[in-house]
Amino acid sequence: MKLGDFEALTFDCYGTLIDWETGILANLAPLVGKAGGGRSNDAILETFARHEAAQEAETPDMIYARLLAMVHGRIAEEWGVAASPEDDARFGASVPDWPAFPDTADALRYLKQHFRLGILSNVDRTSFAGSNRRLGVEFDWIMTAEDIGSYKPAPRNFAYMIETLGRDGVDRAGILHTAESLFHDHVPANGFGLASCWIFRRHDKDGFGATSKPAKMPRIDFRFTSLGEMAAAHRREMAGGG
């Protein structure tokens, strides 16, 4: 199997293209300060992951900006600190401020020359529009939780993606789903028989960061530590270097 065997790359955005852990930590810093500090970044991210996954399961049709505000309130309650509705809303609206990984835009511009590109993301359209300005390409498909009415890892999101691309002539075998999160993306992609590429951004860190631990290790067809590394591998393929 080669990267060039595929017609379309579908991407998770946050954690894969956008450095959401940096964004989350920066925007939780005021709450961490109120709680008195003393928590490691990994502990903060693990708390976020737990509450985000629970809120997504409880309110699958809630707009992500509102959902993030709810998560902020839940974290504040767990830590025993006060957070105003304005504080919660500010965190919920922070997604467009989260930075892209340094390699993302250049790698996407390269990959766009060779593949059709899609986004399958657990956010709302407005939040993604802010992030999209950092990504530097026009995607062929943008599929958000707002469009679908549920959050990954729900099977409904992947069925929606397969149906959407199928209407544009791309069958399941022509899709390579590309993501960092094993929990949100690779496990459900396996369930639909999709090929998958793991952009293992956390290769030099312990734990699962801002995502939940998967119940099992999924099958991975390709693994790279950055999107830039994936683009470089495709260049080698094109040059005949395997």
Domain ranges of the chain: 3-19+99-238, 20-97
Out of 12, 87, 88, 140, pick the active-site residue.
12
Q: Which two tokens stand for residue 3?
A: 């990267």
Q: How far is CA 149 from CA 62, 135, 146, in A?
A: 8, 25, 6
Tens of pLDDT, residue by residue, the chain (242 residues): 999 999 999 999 999 999 999 999 999 999 999 988 788 999 999 999 999 999 999 999 999 999 999 999 999 999 999 989 999 999 999 999 999 999 999 999 999 999 999 999 999 999 999 999 999 899 999 999 999 999 999 999 999 999 999 999 999 999 999 999 998 999 999 999 999 999 999 887 887 777 878 888 899 999 999 999 999 999 999 898 65
User: What is the model's pTM?
Assistant: 0.92
Q: Which two tokens stand for residue 75?
A: 């974290």
Cα(3)–Cα(9) distance, integer angstroms:
9
Q: Which two tokens stand for residue 111?
A: 């990959």
CATH of domain 20-97: 1.10.150.750
Class of 3-19+99-238 in CATH? alpha beta
Q: Is 204 a catalytic residue?
A: no
Phi, psi of 190 (to 5 degrees): -55, -40
